[in-house]
């Protein structure tokens, strides 16, 4: 990962670790707006990282549900 992706992913992880941010975009949007004021590139990378992390969480839940159904 390059610096941009590393910073964006770290910020996304920190934001998504907070209660309520999994489904509520308020904090995510505030952070994106703040960083977009000085770096639209970081803003886009951050929003992409948030989408990736949310998709990863949904996939993990689906995998865990499958394992439970299959008694694995």
pLDDT digits (tens, 9 = 90+) for 25-71: 999 999 999 999 999 999 999 999 999 999 999 999 999 999 999 99
Residue 39 confidence (pLDDT): 97
CA distance 22 to 7: 19
Selection from 65, 53, 1 nearest residue 28 by Cα = 53
In DSSP notation, 6-58 reads: HHHHHHHHHHHHSTTTTT--HHHHHHHHHHHTT-HHHHHHHHHHHHHHHHHHH
pTM, full prediction:
0.90
Contact 16, 54 (CB under 8 A): yes
């Amino acid at each position: 990962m390059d610096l941009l992706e590393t910073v964006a992913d770290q910020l996304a992880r920190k934001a998504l670790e907070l209660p309520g941010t999994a489904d509520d975009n308020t904090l995510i949007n505030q952070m994106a707006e703040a960083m977009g004021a000085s770096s639209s590139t970081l803003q886009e990378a951050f929003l992409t990282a948030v989408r990736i992390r949310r998709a990863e969480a949904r996939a993990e839940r689906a995998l865990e549900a499958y394992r439970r159904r299959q008694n694995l």
